[in-house]
Structure formats: C-alpha cells, structure tokens
Structure 1
Amino acid sequence: MTVESDLTIAGDILAVQHLLQPAREHPATVAEFAGLARAIAADRAQWAPLIRYDAATRWYHRLRTGPGYEVWLLSWVPGQGSGLHDHGPSSGVLTVLEGELTERSRATSRSLTAGSQRVFAPGYAHEVVNDSLDGAVSLHIYFPGLTEMPMHDADGDSAHDTHGTRRAQCAPAPAPGGDVVRA
C-alpha cells in the first residue's frame, strides 16, 4: 500500500529558524550515544594504542567524559568475565571493538562480535564474558556516569554478604592504564 502525502515545503526551509535545532555539543538521546560509540570505534588510532591485556584482572581505561556521561575502554583475555551485575542508575551502550564477547542475562545468551552494540537500561542485569580463544576489546558508555555496579547471584538477585548488598564501587578517579581524557 502506497501512502501519498500532501506535505510540501514552500520557500527556503533554512529561513524558518524555529524549526532548526542547534547541533548538540554532547549526546542526549540513545541514538546519539550509540552514534558516539560508533564514531569512537571508527577512530581506531584514538583507542588502539591504549589497550593492555592483563591475565590477572580485567583491564579498563576511562577514555573520555562529558556532561553526565563516561566512556570506558575494556580488554578481555580468554575466560575473563564481569560477573552478573547491573549498572545502578546508569544506562549504557556496549560496543564490541575487537574479538567476540558473550552477554548473558537471565533470559538470554548472545554472541557479540566486532561492531555489535547493546543498549541497556538502568537496573538491567547481565554478565559479559570472553568465551573465545582470542582477546577482545569493548567500549562502554554510561549515562549518567557509572557510580556503582551491584553484583547479582546466579538467580539474578542482588548478592548479599553479612553487611548488606555487595556493590562494586566505581570511583571517579582515573582508571588503571591512563589519565582521564575530557571531551
């Protein structure tokens, strides 16, 4: 079925200033954050020299900050994983830059290859693991910036110790591997 529109533009649309939105200095929508992740992924010269692989612990580097958001670069050796966690009040965009990662939640398990993106809402619990035989690199954007990472047990419930909910605190200081680069 073809739908025709009787909408036409008469005159110079650029002269209608109230219809034009100024270009945003920083992302504000899910699509803009996903676009920022794709733009960073495409600029390999910006992030590739920073990558380090650490067999003892997951390596991470805060690549950039902006008004209310953070961009993190992570590397994963074979077998490394995040554990089942959520991101507290933060939303996020996960983009695989190199290699392959597996994302598991209570409901699904999916393979994420280079170029794959996952957008998640606050409170979404998942685990990211490098199940492959090669290293992997991922980019993570959090809005607002990551302040906590509550860990969950295998049932997806917040894991508790004798002192209450166990949370991995995310300090605002620079991450191991380098200085904070402000956007």
Structure 2
Amino acid sequence: LIAKLRALLGTKGLSSEDIDIEEVQRIMEEYQSDEADWAHLALHDPSRNYSRNGILNINGNANLLMLAWTPGKSSAIHDHANAHCCMKILDGELTESLYDIPEGEGQLVPKKNTVLHRDVVGYISDDIGLHKISNLGTKQAVSLHLYTPPYASMYGCSMYEAGNGKKHHVDMSKYYSWQGQLVNAKGGSTC
C-alpha cells in the first residue's frame, strides 16, 4: 500500500488539482485490512474522542494517519484545508455526516449520513463540503486516512459549531503517536 502511494504521489510538490484522487482511492481499496499489519500503530487514549496516530509523510506530498475512535464519540464538523482526504475503515464502522459549507452563521444540518464498514474507502474534499465522523458503535473503530496535499498538518483546518455555524481555526500539527511511538499523550491535535 505505502509503496504504491509513494509511487503515485511522486517526489514533486503537488497542488490539489494535480492529484489523481481516483487512483489514490483505488490503491486504498485494494488493501484488505489485516490487524497484524496495523495494530501496533493504532494507539488510543479512551479519554479522547479519537487519537490521531501519524504513520508516514509521503515525499512531502501526503500524510498517512491512523485514527483510533472511542465508542460513542465523534469528531467536530470540519473542513480539510483545501486538500483531499481518503479514509479506509480498518476495523469497526464509522458514520460520516456531510454538511454544506455555511455562507454565514446558522445551524448546520447534515445533508447526508453514510455508514462506512470495514474495508470501505470514503472520500471528502472542501469541494464536497464539511463532515463529521462518528463512532456510534460500542467498540473502538480504526481508520486509515491519507491527506494530500498535507495542508491541515501545515496550516491547520477549520472546525464549525453545529448550533450556529461559527468557524474556528484548529492546529492539526500534533499527533498522539508517530510510527507507533507515543509522542504527545496530552496535546495531540483533534477537531
């Protein structure tokens, strides 16, 4: 999986328009989840909604992260800093709630909810809208995320309040772990 993503993304800087996102999705869909491959990378702090575990920076063009989701918890409603995000469910299931990007303030109402099961690949970009990811189940879920270009880790992203649509900048540069080693137990970034 990683070798194929490296080959596709190359060594040059990429803008969002340069990326063949359908090929990225196809590569991620080819991989069949095997816990023996990734369990050591899915570190989790159950006191948080989810834990962001950095796996790899691919040639400066993408970040590969593994997120471990606490049962009954969710992310905030958020954007993707004008980048592409492909998300593969490795274990459990997650619900994606899709929202339009608000033009002003006002309550945000999901326009679509999709349940993503093991080995399913989802895709989001700011052209599609905002989303919130939820683990509505009773056991931990794990997902693999490819962000390309890795703008959120460089510049942060925006989270939105559901009740009024207010936008807040979030620093997304800190990980709970990096390549299986705990690096930031108290201050890992989340939205």
TM-score (norm 1): 0.72
Counterpart check, 1:69 vs 2:51: no
**Structure 1 residue 46: Cα displacement:** 3.4
State the Cα deviation string for residues 66-104 of structure 1 (Å, max 9, x = none).
131111100012112111111111111011110011111
Please state whether the residue corresponding to 1:46 is helix, strand or coil: helix
Identity %: 23
1:169 matched residue in structure 2: 171
Q: 1:1-183 maps to which residues of 2 (within 5 A)?
A: 25-27=7-9, 28-38=19-29, 42=33, 44-57=35-48, 58-67=50-59, 68-105=61-98, 106-122=110-126, 124-145=129-150, 146-147=152-153, 148-154=156-162, 157=165, 159-160=166-167, 166-171=168-173, 175-179=175-179
Cα separation, 2, equivalents of 1:138 and 1:85: 17
Change in CA separation of 1:78 and 1:31 when aligned onto 2, cut-off 3 Å: same
Distance 1:35 1:79, change over 3 A: same
- Output the TM-score relative to the length of structure 2: 0.69
Q: Which runs of 5+ in 2 are unaligned?
A: 1-5, 10-18, 99-109, 181-191
Query: Does the aligned pair in 1 maintain the 2:83–2:148 contact within 8 Å?
Result: yes
Compared CA separation, residues 153 and 130, structure 1 to 2 (3 A): same
Q: Secondary structure in 1 aligned to 2:130?
A: coil
Q: CA deviation at 1:119?
A: 1.2
Q: Conserved in 2, the CA contact under 8 Å of 1:75 and 1:135?
A: yes
Counterpart code for 1:26: L
Which one has the largest radius of gyration? 1
1:70 corresponds to which letter in structure 2?
A: N
Query: Does the 8 A contact of 1:100 with 1:111 survive in 2?
Result: yes
| Counterpart Cα distance in 1 of 2:42 and 2:20 | 28
Q: CA deviation at 1:43?
A: 5.7
1:115, distance to aligned residue in structure 2 (A): 1.2
- Looking at structure 2, the residues matched to 69 and 77 of structure 1 have their Cα atoms a distance apart, in angstroms, of 25
| Greater than 3 Å deviation, 4+ residue runs | 38-46
Aligned length: 150
In the TM superposition, what is the alpha-carbon distance from 1:31 to its structure 2 partner? 2.3
